[in-house]
Amino acid sequence: MRTQVAIIGAGPAGLLLGALLHRAGIAAVIVEQRSPAYVLGRIRAGVLEQTTVALLEQAGVAERLHREGLRHDGIELAFDGRLHRIDFQALTGKHVTVYGQTEVTRDLMEARAAAGLPPVYEAQGVSLHDFDGTRPVVRYRKNGSLREIECDFIAGCDGFHGASRASVPAPALTTHEKVYPFGWLGVLADAPPARDELVYAQHARGFALCSQRSATRSRYYVQCALDDRVEQWSDARFWDELRRRLPEEVAQRVTVAPALEKSIAPLRSFVAEPMRFGRLFLAGDAAHIVPPTGAKGLNLAASDVGTLAQALHEFYADKRSAGIDAYSQRCLSRVWKAERFSWWFTSLMHRLPDQGEFGARLQQAELDYLVGSRAAAGALAENYVGLPLPPSSLRGDEQRELHHDASSATASA
Ligand code: RFL
Ligand code: PHB
Protein backbone atom coordinates (compact mmCIF):
# COMPACT_ATOMS: atom_id res chain seq x y z
CA MET A 1 0.00 0.00 0.00
CA ARG A 2 1.19 3.54 -0.73
CA THR A 3 0.07 6.76 0.99
CA GLN A 4 1.42 10.24 1.69
CA VAL A 5 1.50 10.09 5.51
CA ALA A 6 1.50 6.95 7.69
CA ILE A 7 0.19 7.78 11.16
CA ILE A 8 1.11 5.41 14.00
CA GLY A 9 -1.50 5.44 16.79
CA ALA A 10 -5.24 6.21 16.78
CA GLY A 11 -5.35 8.16 20.03
CA PRO A 12 -6.42 11.80 19.93
CA ALA A 13 -3.13 12.97 18.32
CA GLY A 14 -3.22 10.44 15.46
CA LEU A 15 -6.94 10.80 14.79
CA LEU A 16 -6.86 14.61 14.85
CA LEU A 17 -3.85 14.67 12.53
CA GLY A 18 -5.70 12.31 10.19
CA ALA A 19 -8.75 14.62 10.19
CA LEU A 20 -6.70 17.79 9.58
CA LEU A 21 -4.77 16.14 6.73
CA HIS A 22 -8.01 14.85 5.19
CA ARG A 23 -9.38 18.41 5.20
CA ALA A 24 -6.17 19.56 3.48
CA GLY A 25 -6.49 16.87 0.79
CA ILE A 26 -3.49 14.87 2.06
CA ALA A 27 -3.86 11.07 2.11
CA ALA A 28 -3.05 9.26 5.35
CA VAL A 29 -3.35 5.75 6.78
CA ILE A 30 -3.65 5.32 10.57
CA VAL A 31 -2.28 2.14 12.15
CA GLU A 32 -3.34 1.30 15.74
CA GLN A 33 -2.28 -1.70 17.81
CA ARG A 34 -5.42 -1.86 19.99
CA SER A 35 -9.15 -2.32 19.29
CA PRO A 36 -11.55 0.66 19.01
CA ALA A 37 -13.24 -0.40 22.28
CA TYR A 38 -9.92 -0.39 24.13
CA VAL A 39 -9.01 3.06 22.81
CA LEU A 40 -12.41 4.43 23.89
CA GLY A 41 -12.25 2.69 27.28
CA ARG A 42 -9.36 4.83 28.53
CA ILE A 43 -10.67 7.58 30.80
CA ARG A 44 -8.26 10.48 30.64
CA ALA A 45 -8.34 14.20 29.97
CA GLY A 46 -11.29 16.49 30.45
CA VAL A 47 -10.24 20.08 29.79
CA LEU A 48 -9.77 21.63 26.33
CA GLU A 49 -8.04 24.92 25.59
CA GLN A 50 -9.64 27.30 23.07
CA THR A 51 -6.84 26.53 20.59
CA THR A 52 -7.67 22.80 20.84
CA VAL A 53 -11.35 23.56 20.22
CA ALA A 54 -10.34 25.69 17.20
CA LEU A 55 -8.33 22.76 15.77
CA LEU A 56 -11.29 20.40 16.28
CA GLU A 57 -13.45 22.97 14.43
CA GLN A 58 -10.90 23.13 11.62
CA ALA A 59 -11.00 19.33 11.46
CA GLY A 60 -14.81 19.47 11.15
CA VAL A 61 -15.50 17.49 14.33
CA ALA A 62 -16.69 20.12 16.80
CA GLU A 63 -20.46 19.93 16.35
CA ARG A 64 -21.22 17.74 19.40
CA LEU A 65 -18.49 19.47 21.37
CA HIS A 66 -20.29 22.78 20.88
CA ARG A 67 -23.59 21.19 21.91
CA GLU A 68 -22.42 19.24 24.94
CA GLY A 69 -19.11 20.83 26.05
CA LEU A 70 -19.24 22.95 29.20
CA ARG A 71 -17.68 26.40 29.07
CA HIS A 72 -15.70 27.15 32.24
CA ASP A 73 -14.59 30.72 32.93
CA GLY A 74 -12.42 29.83 35.92
CA ILE A 75 -11.29 27.24 38.47
CA GLU A 76 -11.30 27.19 42.25
CA LEU A 77 -8.27 26.60 44.45
CA ALA A 78 -8.95 25.12 47.89
CA PHE A 79 -6.59 25.36 50.84
CA ASP A 80 -6.87 26.10 54.55
CA GLY A 81 -10.49 24.99 54.44
CA ARG A 82 -11.48 27.79 52.01
CA LEU A 83 -12.18 28.26 48.30
CA HIS A 84 -10.55 30.93 46.12
CA ARG A 85 -11.67 31.49 42.54
CA ILE A 86 -9.25 32.15 39.66
CA ASP A 87 -11.30 34.07 37.12
CA PHE A 88 -9.90 33.22 33.67
CA GLN A 89 -12.31 35.49 31.87
CA ALA A 90 -11.37 38.56 33.92
CA LEU A 91 -7.65 37.76 33.89
CA THR A 92 -7.18 36.64 30.27
CA GLY A 93 -10.46 37.10 28.38
CA LYS A 94 -10.38 33.35 27.69
CA HIS A 95 -12.10 30.19 28.94
CA VAL A 96 -11.66 26.42 28.75
CA THR A 97 -14.15 23.74 27.67
CA VAL A 98 -14.89 20.65 29.73
CA TYR A 99 -15.40 17.77 27.26
CA GLY A 100 -13.90 14.33 27.86
CA GLN A 101 -11.04 12.90 25.82
CA THR A 102 -13.25 9.83 25.30
CA GLU A 103 -15.81 12.04 23.53
CA VAL A 104 -13.16 13.83 21.44
CA THR A 105 -11.83 10.42 20.39
CA ARG A 106 -15.31 9.10 19.61
CA ASP A 107 -16.13 12.15 17.42
CA LEU A 108 -12.84 11.76 15.53
CA MET A 109 -13.37 8.00 15.06
CA GLU A 110 -16.86 8.55 13.71
CA ALA A 111 -15.67 11.25 11.29
CA ARG A 112 -12.92 8.97 9.98
CA ALA A 113 -15.36 6.07 9.55
CA ALA A 114 -17.86 8.39 7.78
CA ALA A 115 -15.09 9.47 5.38
CA GLY A 116 -14.52 5.79 4.57
CA LEU A 117 -11.02 5.88 6.08
CA PRO A 118 -11.16 3.84 9.29
CA PRO A 119 -7.81 3.20 10.99
CA VAL A 120 -6.24 -0.25 10.75
CA TYR A 121 -7.00 -1.54 14.28
CA GLU A 122 -5.27 -4.42 16.04
CA ALA A 123 -2.12 -4.09 13.95
CA GLN A 124 0.63 -6.20 15.51
CA GLY A 125 4.38 -5.70 15.59
CA VAL A 126 4.29 -2.22 14.03
CA SER A 127 7.80 -1.23 12.86
CA LEU A 128 9.20 1.90 11.19
CA HIS A 129 11.93 1.86 8.52
CA ASP A 130 13.99 4.13 6.25
CA PHE A 131 12.75 7.44 7.66
CA ASP A 132 16.26 8.86 7.19
CA GLY A 133 15.64 8.69 3.41
CA THR A 134 12.79 9.91 1.19
CA ARG A 135 10.80 6.62 1.10
CA PRO A 136 9.89 5.58 4.65
CA VAL A 137 8.11 2.27 5.20
CA VAL A 138 5.83 1.02 8.00
CA ARG A 139 5.33 -2.72 8.50
CA TYR A 140 2.85 -4.58 10.68
CA ARG A 141 1.01 -7.88 10.93
CA LYS A 142 -2.73 -8.14 10.62
CA ASN A 143 -4.72 -11.39 10.73
CA GLY A 144 -1.49 -13.34 10.46
CA SER A 145 -0.15 -11.66 7.30
CA LEU A 146 2.62 -9.08 6.94
CA ARG A 147 1.53 -5.70 5.53
CA GLU A 148 3.60 -2.76 4.34
CA ILE A 149 2.86 0.93 3.87
CA GLU A 150 5.17 3.03 1.71
CA CYS A 151 4.85 6.72 2.43
CA ASP A 152 6.45 10.18 2.22
CA PHE A 153 6.33 10.82 5.96
CA ILE A 154 5.63 8.97 9.22
CA ALA A 155 3.82 10.66 12.12
CA GLY A 156 4.60 8.90 15.42
CA CYS A 157 1.43 9.48 17.48
CA ASP A 158 1.66 6.24 19.45
CA GLY A 159 1.94 7.56 22.99
CA PHE A 160 4.64 7.18 25.62
CA HIS A 161 5.14 3.41 25.18
CA GLY A 162 4.84 3.35 21.37
CA ALA A 163 7.19 2.08 18.66
CA SER A 164 7.98 5.44 17.04
CA ARG A 165 10.26 7.05 19.61
CA ALA A 166 11.83 3.63 20.25
CA SER A 167 12.80 3.42 16.52
CA VAL A 168 15.02 6.47 16.71
CA PRO A 169 18.72 5.59 17.11
CA ALA A 170 19.65 6.41 20.72
CA PRO A 171 22.46 8.88 19.92
CA ALA A 172 20.01 11.05 17.94
CA LEU A 173 17.67 11.51 20.90
CA THR A 174 18.02 13.46 24.13
CA THR A 175 15.48 12.74 26.86
CA HIS A 176 14.66 14.63 30.05
CA GLU A 177 12.57 13.00 32.75
CA LYS A 178 11.20 13.58 36.24
CA VAL A 179 9.15 10.89 37.97
CA TYR A 180 7.04 12.13 40.89
CA PRO A 181 6.92 10.10 44.12
CA PHE A 182 3.10 9.78 44.11
CA GLY A 183 0.20 8.93 41.79
CA TRP A 184 -3.42 9.94 41.14
CA LEU A 185 -6.31 7.65 41.94
CA GLY A 186 -9.24 8.62 39.69
CA VAL A 187 -12.92 7.75 40.00
CA LEU A 188 -15.66 8.35 37.44
CA ALA A 189 -19.21 8.36 38.81
CA ASP A 190 -22.73 9.14 37.67
CA ALA A 191 -23.33 11.92 40.16
CA PRO A 192 -23.80 15.68 39.76
CA PRO A 193 -20.51 17.57 40.26
CA ALA A 194 -19.94 19.06 43.72
CA ARG A 195 -19.21 22.52 42.24
CA ASP A 196 -19.89 24.29 38.94
CA GLU A 197 -16.17 24.67 38.25
CA LEU A 198 -13.12 22.43 38.84
CA VAL A 199 -11.69 22.49 42.38
CA TYR A 200 -7.93 21.91 42.87
CA ALA A 201 -7.41 21.23 46.58
CA GLN A 202 -4.15 21.36 48.52
CA HIS A 203 -4.34 19.54 51.85
CA ALA A 204 -1.97 18.07 54.44
CA ARG A 205 -3.37 14.58 53.57
CA GLY A 206 -2.59 15.15 49.88
CA PHE A 207 -3.98 16.75 46.73
CA ALA A 208 -7.58 16.28 45.55
CA LEU A 209 -9.35 17.37 42.34
CA CYS A 210 -13.06 17.72 41.65
CA SER A 211 -13.62 17.56 37.90
CA GLN A 212 -16.61 16.65 35.78
CA ARG A 213 -17.78 15.41 32.41
CA SER A 214 -21.37 16.72 32.40
CA ALA A 215 -24.13 17.95 34.73
CA THR A 216 -24.64 14.35 35.82
CA ARG A 217 -21.17 12.81 35.63
CA SER A 218 -18.26 13.63 37.96
CA ARG A 219 -14.58 12.82 37.78
CA TYR A 220 -12.61 12.98 41.03
CA TYR A 221 -8.95 12.36 41.84
CA VAL A 222 -6.93 11.98 45.06
CA GLN A 223 -3.15 11.89 45.39
CA CYS A 224 -2.12 8.37 46.41
CA ALA A 225 1.06 6.42 47.09
CA LEU A 226 2.95 5.14 44.04
CA ASP A 227 2.65 1.53 45.18
CA ASP A 228 -1.07 1.72 46.01
CA ARG A 229 -3.25 -0.72 44.11
CA VAL A 230 -6.84 -0.03 43.04
CA GLU A 231 -8.06 -3.04 45.10
CA GLN A 232 -6.88 -1.27 48.25
CA TRP A 233 -9.31 1.55 47.53
CA SER A 234 -12.92 0.51 48.11
CA ASP A 235 -15.49 3.07 46.96
CA ALA A 236 -16.18 3.92 50.63
CA ARG A 237 -12.50 4.60 51.33
CA PHE A 238 -12.19 6.77 48.23
CA TRP A 239 -15.22 8.97 49.01
CA ASP A 240 -14.16 9.33 52.62
CA GLU A 241 -10.61 10.37 51.71
CA LEU A 242 -11.78 12.76 49.00
CA ARG A 243 -14.16 14.56 51.37
CA ARG A 244 -11.54 14.85 54.11
CA ARG A 245 -9.29 16.79 51.72
CA LEU A 246 -11.97 19.27 50.61
CA PRO A 247 -13.33 22.37 52.37
CA GLU A 248 -16.52 21.58 54.32
CA GLU A 249 -18.78 23.49 51.88
CA VAL A 250 -17.50 21.32 48.98
CA ALA A 251 -17.33 18.03 50.91
CA GLN A 252 -20.99 18.34 51.86
CA ARG A 253 -21.94 18.60 48.21
CA VAL A 254 -20.03 15.54 47.00
CA THR A 255 -22.64 13.00 45.88
CA VAL A 256 -21.49 9.48 46.65
CA ALA A 257 -22.19 6.99 43.87
CA PRO A 258 -20.70 3.67 42.70
CA ALA A 259 -17.43 4.09 40.78
CA LEU A 260 -17.95 3.44 37.05
CA GLU A 261 -14.18 3.39 36.62
CA LYS A 262 -11.32 3.52 39.09
CA SER A 263 -7.66 3.68 38.11
CA ILE A 264 -4.26 4.81 39.33
CA ALA A 265 -1.92 6.86 37.12
CA PRO A 266 1.72 7.61 37.92
CA LEU A 267 2.87 11.21 37.42
CA ARG A 268 5.76 11.98 35.12
CA SER A 269 7.38 14.89 33.27
CA PHE A 270 9.22 13.80 30.12
CA VAL A 271 10.56 15.44 26.95
CA ALA A 272 12.34 13.82 24.00
CA GLU A 273 14.31 16.17 21.76
CA PRO A 274 14.23 16.80 18.86
CA MET A 275 10.73 15.86 17.69
CA ARG A 276 11.75 15.18 14.08
CA PHE A 277 14.22 12.69 12.60
CA GLY A 278 14.41 12.91 8.82
CA ARG A 279 10.90 12.00 7.71
CA LEU A 280 9.64 10.82 11.10
CA PHE A 281 7.79 13.30 13.32
CA LEU A 282 6.91 12.58 16.96
CA ALA A 283 3.72 14.17 18.30
CA GLY A 284 1.78 14.12 21.58
CA ASP A 285 2.64 11.67 24.36
CA ALA A 286 5.14 9.93 22.04
CA ALA A 287 7.38 12.99 22.47
CA HIS A 288 6.43 14.40 25.87
CA ILE A 289 4.50 13.72 29.06
CA VAL A 290 3.25 16.20 31.65
CA PRO A 291 1.71 15.43 35.04
CA PRO A 292 -2.08 15.91 34.69
CA THR A 293 -2.30 18.76 37.22
CA GLY A 294 -2.20 21.48 34.55
CA ALA A 295 -4.57 19.62 32.14
CA LYS A 296 -2.02 20.07 29.36
CA GLY A 297 -1.31 16.60 27.84
CA LEU A 298 -4.14 16.36 25.33
CA ASN A 299 -3.86 20.06 24.51
CA LEU A 300 -0.15 19.73 23.72
CA ALA A 301 -0.89 16.68 21.55
CA ALA A 302 -3.44 18.79 19.64
CA SER A 303 -1.08 21.74 19.15
CA ASP A 304 1.71 19.42 17.92
CA VAL A 305 -0.49 17.89 15.25
CA GLY A 306 -1.92 21.31 14.32
CA THR A 307 1.65 22.49 13.68
CA LEU A 308 2.48 19.28 11.78
CA ALA A 309 -0.63 19.41 9.60
CA GLN A 310 0.20 23.01 8.66
CA ALA A 311 3.81 22.08 7.83
CA LEU A 312 2.72 19.13 5.65
CA HIS A 313 0.14 21.31 3.91
CA GLU A 314 2.87 23.84 3.06
CA PHE A 315 5.05 21.00 1.79
CA TYR A 316 2.44 19.51 -0.54
CA ALA A 317 0.57 22.68 -1.60
CA ASP A 318 3.40 25.22 -1.79
CA LYS A 319 6.47 22.95 -2.09
CA ARG A 320 7.92 24.71 0.97
CA SER A 321 9.81 22.69 3.58
CA ALA A 322 10.37 25.56 6.05
CA GLY A 323 7.45 24.36 8.22
CA ILE A 324 8.78 20.82 8.31
CA ASP A 325 12.28 22.05 9.18
CA ALA A 326 10.91 24.25 11.98
CA TYR A 327 8.41 21.66 13.35
CA SER A 328 10.51 20.43 16.25
CA GLN A 329 11.65 23.85 17.40
CA ARG A 330 8.15 25.35 17.16
CA CYS A 331 6.56 22.53 19.15
CA LEU A 332 9.30 22.35 21.77
CA SER A 333 9.06 26.02 22.68
CA ARG A 334 5.41 25.48 23.64
CA VAL A 335 6.07 22.02 25.15
CA TRP A 336 8.72 23.32 27.57
CA LYS A 337 6.43 26.11 28.77
CA ALA A 338 3.69 23.56 29.45
CA GLU A 339 6.24 21.30 31.18
CA ARG A 340 7.25 24.19 33.40
CA PHE A 341 3.65 25.07 34.25
CA SER A 342 2.58 21.47 34.95
CA TRP A 343 5.64 20.85 37.15
CA TRP A 344 5.04 24.12 39.06
CA PHE A 345 1.32 23.49 39.61
CA THR A 346 2.02 19.88 40.64
CA SER A 347 4.71 20.97 43.13
CA LEU A 348 2.44 23.65 44.56
CA MET A 349 -0.63 21.46 45.11
CA HIS A 350 0.72 18.05 46.21
CA ARG A 351 2.06 16.80 49.47
CA LEU A 352 5.72 16.11 48.68
CA PRO A 353 7.22 13.33 50.84
CA ASP A 354 10.45 15.19 51.61
CA GLN A 355 9.12 18.75 51.79
CA GLY A 356 9.32 19.08 55.59
CA GLU A 357 7.76 21.91 57.53
CA PHE A 358 9.75 24.55 55.63
CA GLY A 359 8.48 23.28 52.27
CA ALA A 360 4.91 23.16 53.56
CA ARG A 361 5.14 26.79 54.72
CA LEU A 362 6.53 27.88 51.36
CA GLN A 363 3.59 26.18 49.60
CA GLN A 364 1.22 28.00 51.94
CA ALA A 365 2.91 31.36 51.26
CA GLU A 366 2.79 30.80 47.50
CA LEU A 367 -0.91 29.90 47.59
CA ASP A 368 -1.63 33.03 49.65
CA TYR A 369 0.37 35.10 47.17
CA LEU A 370 -1.42 33.51 44.24
CA VAL A 371 -4.91 34.37 45.42
CA GLY A 372 -3.88 37.82 46.69
CA SER A 373 -1.98 39.05 43.64
CA ARG A 374 -3.61 39.76 40.29
CA ALA A 375 -0.25 39.32 38.57
CA ALA A 376 0.33 35.87 40.11
CA ALA A 377 -3.25 34.75 39.44
CA GLY A 378 -2.88 36.09 35.88
CA ALA A 379 0.21 33.93 35.31
CA LEU A 380 -1.69 30.82 36.45
CA ALA A 381 -4.72 31.74 34.34
CA GLU A 382 -2.81 32.45 31.12
CA ASN A 383 -0.97 29.13 31.33
CA TYR A 384 -4.11 27.17 32.24
CA VAL A 385 -6.19 28.54 29.35
CA GLY A 386 -3.21 27.84 27.06
CA LEU A 387 -0.33 29.85 25.66
CA PRO A 388 -0.56 30.93 22.01
CA LEU A 389 0.26 28.43 19.26
CA PRO A 390 3.61 28.93 17.55
CA PRO A 391 3.26 31.16 14.46
CA SER A 392 2.23 29.08 11.45
CA SER A 393 4.41 30.88 8.93
CA LEU A 394 7.86 32.10 9.74
CA ARG A 395 8.94 35.58 8.79
CA GLY A 396 12.15 35.94 6.80
CA ASP A 397 14.23 36.99 9.81
CA GLU A 398 12.97 34.03 11.87
CA GLN A 399 13.87 31.70 9.02
CA ARG A 400 17.37 33.14 9.01
CA GLU A 401 17.62 32.61 12.78
CA LEU A 402 16.50 29.01 12.43
CA HIS A 403 18.96 28.46 9.62
CA HIS A 404 21.68 29.96 11.79
CA ASP A 405 20.68 27.67 14.72
CA ALA A 406 20.75 24.64 12.47
CA SER A 407 24.18 25.49 11.05
CA SER A 408 25.66 26.21 14.48
CA ALA A 409 24.20 22.90 15.77
CA THR A 410 25.87 21.09 12.87
CA ALA A 411 29.10 22.96 13.43
CA SER A 412 29.22 22.04 17.13
CA ALA A 413 28.12 18.41 16.61
P1 RFL B 1 -2.38 8.27 23.51
O2 RFL B 1 -3.72 8.76 23.96
O3 RFL B 1 -1.58 7.48 24.45
O4 RFL B 1 -2.62 7.46 22.17
C5 RFL B 1 -1.58 6.70 21.57
C6 RFL B 1 -2.20 5.60 20.73
O7 RFL B 1 -1.16 4.85 20.10
C8 RFL B 1 -1.43 3.47 20.25
N9 RFL B 1 -0.15 2.73 20.18
C10 RFL B 1 0.28 2.10 19.06
N11 RFL B 1 -0.24 1.98 17.85
C12 RFL B 1 0.46 1.28 16.93
N13 RFL B 1 1.66 0.70 17.20
C14 RFL B 1 2.23 0.80 18.39
N15 RFL B 1 3.44 0.24 18.64
C16 RFL B 1 1.54 1.53 19.40
N17 RFL B 1 1.80 1.82 20.70
C18 RFL B 1 0.77 2.54 21.15
C19 RFL B 1 -2.12 3.36 21.61
O20 RFL B 1 -2.87 2.16 21.73
C21 RFL B 1 -2.98 4.62 21.59
O22 RFL B 1 -4.25 4.38 21.03
O23 RFL B 1 -1.45 9.49 23.04
P24 RFL B 1 -1.84 10.86 22.30
O25 RFL B 1 -2.74 10.59 21.12
O26 RFL B 1 -0.56 11.57 22.11
O27 RFL B 1 -2.76 11.67 23.34
C28 RFL B 1 -2.22 12.16 24.54
C29 RFL B 1 -3.30 12.20 25.63
O30 RFL B 1 -3.94 10.95 25.69
C31 RFL B 1 -2.71 12.55 27.01
O32 RFL B 1 -1.72 13.54 26.89
C33 RFL B 1 -3.80 13.05 27.98
O34 RFL B 1 -4.72 12.06 28.26
C35 RFL B 1 -3.16 13.55 29.28
N36 RFL B 1 -4.16 13.96 30.28
C37 RFL B 1 -4.79 15.19 30.19
N38 RFL B 1 -4.54 16.02 29.14
C39 RFL B 1 -5.20 17.23 29.03
O40 RFL B 1 -4.93 17.98 28.07
N41 RFL B 1 -6.17 17.61 29.94
C42 RFL B 1 -6.50 16.82 30.99
O43 RFL B 1 -7.40 17.20 31.73
C44 RFL B 1 -5.78 15.58 31.18
N45 RFL B 1 -6.07 14.75 32.19
C46 RFL B 1 -4.49 13.10 31.34
C47 RFL B 1 -5.45 13.54 32.29
C48 RFL B 1 -3.88 11.84 31.46
C49 RFL B 1 -4.22 11.04 32.52
N50 RFL B 1 -3.58 9.77 32.59
C51 RFL B 1 -4.25 8.56 32.82
C52 RFL B 1 -2.20 9.62 32.16
C53 RFL B 1 -5.78 12.74 33.37
C54 RFL B 1 -5.15 11.49 33.50
C55 RFL B 1 -5.51 10.69 34.70
C1 PHB C 1 -10.15 15.39 34.24
O2 PHB C 1 -11.31 15.84 34.21
O3 PHB C 1 -9.89 14.21 34.03
C4 PHB C 1 -9.04 16.32 34.59
C5 PHB C 1 -9.32 17.67 34.70
C6 PHB C 1 -8.29 18.55 35.05
C7 PHB C 1 -7.02 18.05 35.26
C8 PHB C 1 -6.74 16.70 35.13
C9 PHB C 1 -7.77 15.82 34.80
O10 PHB C 1 -6.04 18.92 35.62
d(CA 176, CA 290): 12
User: Is 142 domain-assigned?
Assistant: yes
Beta carbon of 296 within 6 Å of any ligand 2 atom: no
Using the predicted structure, report yes or no on whether residue 295 has a pLDDT greater than 80: yes
Nearest residue (CA) to ligand 2, atom 1: 46
* Cα distances (Å, whole numbers) of residue 132 to 172, 247, 252, 281, 316: 12, 56, 59, 11, 19
The number of domains in the chain is 1
Q: What percent of the chain has pLDDT over 90?
A: 92
Side chain identity at residue 293, one-letter code = T
> Which of 73, 32, 42, 69 lies closest to 54, judged by CA?
69
SS3 34: coil
Is the distance from the beta carbon of residue 45 to the nearest atom of ligand 2 less than 6 Å? yes
Q: Output the CA 313–ligand 1 centroid distance in Å.
A: 25
Helices (H), 153-283: 163-167, 235-244, 248-251
Q: Quick check: 395 pLDDT over 60?
A: no
Share of the chain above pLDDT 70, in %: 94
How far apart CA 152 and CA 211 sit, in angstroms, is 42
Ligand number with the minimum distance to the CA of 75: 2
In a domain, 365, yes or no: no
Q: What atom in ligand 1 is closest to the CA of residue 164?
A: 15
Read off the pLDDT of each residue in 43-62 and give the average, rounded to a whole number: 95
pTM of this prediction?
0.94
Residues in the chain: 413
| Tens digits of residue pLDDT in 72-126 | 999 999 999 999 999 999 999 999 999 999 999 999 999 999 999 999 999 999 9
**160 within a domain of the structure (yes/no):** yes
pLDDT tens-digit profile of 204-234? 999 999 999 999 999 999 999 999 999 999 9
Q: List, for residues 233-249, the tens digit of each pLDDT value.
A: 999 999 999 999 999 99
Give the span between the Cα atoms of 11 and 123, in whole angstroms: 14
Nearest CA to ligand 2 atom 2: 46
Residue 127 is assigned to a structural domain of this protein:
yes
Nearest to 153 by CA among 308, 20, 289, 329: 308
Q: How far is the CA of 364 from the centre of ligand 2 (A)?
A: 23
| Residue 43 CA, closest ligand 2 atom number | 3
The confidence score (pLDDT) of residue 389 equals 81
Judge contact between 336 and 271, C-beta under 8 A.
Answer: yes
How high is the pLDDT of residue 43?
78
Q: Which residue, judged by its Cα, is nearest atom 32 of ligand 1?
A: 297
> Would you say 180 and 271 are in contact if contact means Cβ atoms under 8 Å apart?
no
Distance 277 CA to ligand 2 centre (A): 32
What CATH number is attached to the domain comprising 276? 3.50.50.60
pLDDT band at 399 (very low <50, low <70, confident <90, very high): very low
Taking the centre of ligand 1 as the mean of its atom positions, its distance from the CA of residue 244, in whole angstroms, is: 30
In sequence order, which residues have a C-beta less than 8 Å from that of residue 313 and are 6 or more positions away? 24, 26, 323
Work out the angle at residue 70's Cα, subtended by the Cα atoms of residues 68 and 74, and round it to the nearest 5 degrees.
175
Examine residue 43 and state whether it is found in any structural domain, yes or no: yes
Quick one: CA dihedral 275, 269, 385, 108, positive or negative?
positive
**Mean pLDDT within 1-20:** 98
Residue 82 belongs to some domain of the structure: no
pLDDT at residue 391, rounded to an integer? 72
Give residue 412's pLDDT. Answer: 31
Asked whether residue 263 is domain-assigned, the answer is no
**Mean local confidence (pLDDT), 168-189:** 97
Q: Please say if the pLDDT value at position 406 is more than 70.
A: no
Quick: pLDDT tens for 329-344: 999 999 999 999 999 9
**Residues classed as catalytic:** 72, 200, 292, 296, 384
Backbone angles phi, psi at 410, to 5 degrees: -65, -40
Tell me, what's the pLDDT at 91? 98
Question: Which ligand sits closest to the CA of 220?
Answer: 2
Domain membership of residue 377 (yes or no) is: no
What ligand is nearest to the CA atom of residue 13?
1
pLDDT for residue 409 = 31
Which range of residues forms the domain containing residue 305?
A: 5-68+99-178+268-349+391-402
Label residue 368 by pLDDT band (50, 70, 90): very high
